[in-house]
Chain A
Amino acid sequence: MLILDRIGKIYPNGVNALERFSAEIRLGEIVAVIGGSGCGKSTLLRAIAGLDRATSGSVTLDDVTISAPHAEIGVIFQEPRLLPWLSVADNIGFGLSDLPAEVRREKVARALARVGLTDKADAWPRELSGGQAQRVAIARALVPQPEVLLLDEPFSALDAFTRRDLQDHLLDLWADTRPTLVLVTHDVDEAVVLADRVLVMRPRPGRLFAEITINLARPRDRNSPLFANFKRRVLTALDRSLDRSEPDRDAKSTTGEAMWW
C-alpha cells in the first residue's frame, strides 16, 4: 500500500506547486494522475520517487517513509534516459549490478524477449527508434521487479500509433508481476485505457480535484460507448478543475485558506 499523506511542495522561488495531496493506492492498482499544465503532477511523482523532497506531508510505502529513491520504486520518465555508452542489454541490466553476472544475464535476456528486442541486445541506444528506446526504459525499470512503478508522461513524446502500442504493451507487462502503477499523463485517452482510478488535479496550487473510478474490464475497447462515457467524465472533471469557483473535493476551511479566498 502506497500512502500519500497531505503532500505539499513549495519551491524555493515561492511557487506553491502542490498542496495537501492525499491518496491511498493499493498494491497492484493502476492510478492515473491527470491535470492541466502546472498542476503539480510531475512534482507529485518526483516526491513519491524520492527524487525531490516534499516540503510537507509524507509518502509511505508499506510503512516505510520514502525520502530518497527506494529499491521497491521504479521510475520511467518522459524520455527513455538510456545511458548512451551502454548497450541495450547493459542498460536493462543497469539496476541489477548487485546480482551475479549469470543471473543478471538471464534476467536481461528474459526482459529483452519480453519487450521484443532480443535482436537489439548489442545495439547502442542511439540506434533505436523512440518507441524501442522507451521499451528498453520500461524493461530497465521492471527488471528489478519493483513493487511500485512511477511513470511520468511516459508516452507523450511518441507518435499516436506507437503510443497506443506501448500502452497495450505496458498493460501486458504489468500483468506479469502486477506492480502498482502511478501514471502521470495529460492524455485522457491514456488515463482511461490504463487506469483503475483517475485522479484529476487542479492547478495553482496543485491539488486533488476529483477522483473517477474506471470499472471497465481489461482489455478495454477504446471505441466502446462505455469507454467514451468514462472519457467524457474525466474531461468534464478536467474542465471543471480549471474553473476557480468550483470547490475542491476535500476542501477544508483553515484560517490560512480563508484569507486566500
Chain B
Amino acid sequence: MAGSSPAMTDLESSRRSIRRLAISIGKRLAMAMTVDLPALERTESVESPAPAGRLRRYARPALGLLLPVGLALIWEFIVWRGWSNGRLLPPPTRVFATIVELGRSGELTRHIAATLSRMAAGFGLGVIAGTLLGAISGYWALARRLLDPTVQALRAIPSLAWVPLFILWLGIFETSKVALIAVGVFFPVYLGVMGAILSVDRKIVEVGRIFRLSGPAMIRRILLPAVLPAYVVALRVGLGLGWMFVVAAELMGASEGLGYLLLDGQQLGKPAHILAAIVIFAILGKATDWLIEIASAPFLRWQDAFRQIGAT
C-alpha cells in the first residue's frame, strides 16, 4: 500500500500534465484558427516558386474582377446589339462618357471637392470624439459606468433620425451635414476603441508591471500597440459609415456634391449621372479605405493578417 501510493501519485500527476498539455494545445489551436490562418497561407505563398507566386499574386485579384467586368461586358453587348435600349440602365461606355463629360466641364471636380471636404470634416470630428470618449471609457471603469449607457442608448437611435434636429439647430448648410457624418463615424470608433482597450491581454499588461513601467510608458509601450489593430478596423468601419452618411446628408438638400449629382440625375431622368456618381463613390470609398490601410501598415507589420489583406 505504502509502496504503491507514490506511483499512483506519479501516474496522476503525469495524467494531469498530459491534460494540461492537451488544454494548452487546444488553446494554441484555437488561436491559430482565429489569427494564424492567414499567416499560414502567406508563408505558403511565399515559399512557392517565384513564377507560381507571381501568377497567384496577380491571378487572385483578377479572379475578383471576373464577375463585375463580365457582367459589364454582357450588358454592353446587349445594348450594343439593340436588345435593350439601355435607357434606365446605361451601358458602361455611356457611364464612362458621362464621367468624362462631367470631368471636362469642371463640374465633377466641384462635386468631388464638396463631398470630400464634408467627409473630411465629419470623419475627423467623429474620429476625434470617438477616440477620446472610447479611450476614456475603456481606461476608467467609473467613466465607463457613467458614460457608456448613455452612449449606447444614443447609438440605438437610427442616426438619420437626427437630421431634422440638426437642420433646426445647425441650419440647412454645411454644419448640419458635417454633424450627421460625425455622428455616423463616432459610434463605431467609440465602440472599437473601448472594446480594444477592454480586451487588452491582462497577461501582457502584467509584463509591463513586472518591468515597472510608469503610467504613460504603459500606455505608450503596451496599450497603444495592443489597441492599434482593432483601432484601424474601427477607423475603417467608421469610414464606411461616414460615406453612407455623406450621401444621406447630400440627398437631404445640397447644391453640390456627389449626393446632389445622384438626386439631380433622378430628378432630370439621367441614370447615367446616377451611375457615374455611384462609380465615383465606389472609387473614393475604396481609395480612402486603402489610404488608412497603407498608413497603418508599417505599424501592423507584426500582424500577418493585415499583410494578407494588403497583398490581395
Contact = CB atoms under 8 A, between A and B. Distances in A.
Interface of A: 37, 49, 51, 68-71, 74-75, 77, 79, 81, 83-86, 94-95, 97, 124-126, 130, 156-157, 159, 186-188, 232, 235-236, 238-239
B203 A81 contact: yes
Interface of B: 5-6, 9-10, 13, 16-17, 20-21, 24, 28, 36, 39, 203-204, 206-207, 209-212, 217, 221-222, 225-226, 228, 299, 302-304
Contact of B302 (A74, A95, A126, A156): A126
20 contacts: A51-B206, A51-B209, A51-B210, A69-B209, A69-B211, A77-B203, A83-B204, A84-B303, A85-B226, A85-B299, A97-B221, A125-B302, A156-B17, A156-B20, A156-B24, A159-B21, A187-B13, A236-B5, A238-B13, A239-B5
B181 to A, nearest CB: 32
A83 B9 contact: no
Nearest to A37: B16
B39 A126 contact: yes
Contacts of A81: 203-204, 206-207
Given A85-B302, A124-B302, A188 B222 contact: no
Contacts of B206: 51, 77, 81
B222 A83 contact: yes
B17 A235 contact: no
A191 to B, nearest CB: 11
Given A69-B212, A75-B210, A235-B9, A83 B225 contact: yes
B122 to A, nearest CB: 31
5 closest cross-chain pairs (CB), A and B: A235-B6, A85-B225, A157-B24, A95-B211, A85-B302
B270 to A, nearest CB: 51
A81 B209 CA distance: 12
Contact of B6 (A71, A86, A156, A236): A236
A239 B39 contact: no
Contact of A157 (B21, B39, B207): B21
A83 B13 CA distance: 32
Contact of A232 (B6, B21, B210, B225): B6
A74 B225 contact: no
Nearest to B39: A126
Given A85-B225, A126-B36, A79 B203 contact: yes
Contact of B17 (A79, A97, A187): A187
A88 B36 CA distance: 18
A132 to B, nearest CB: 14
Nearest to B299: A85
A83 B205 CA distance: 10
Nearest to B25: A157
Between A49, A83, A125, the greatest number of chain B beta carbons within 10 A of the residue's beta carbon is seen for A83
Contacts of B228: 85
A186 B17 contact: yes
Contact of A239 (B6, B203, B221): B6
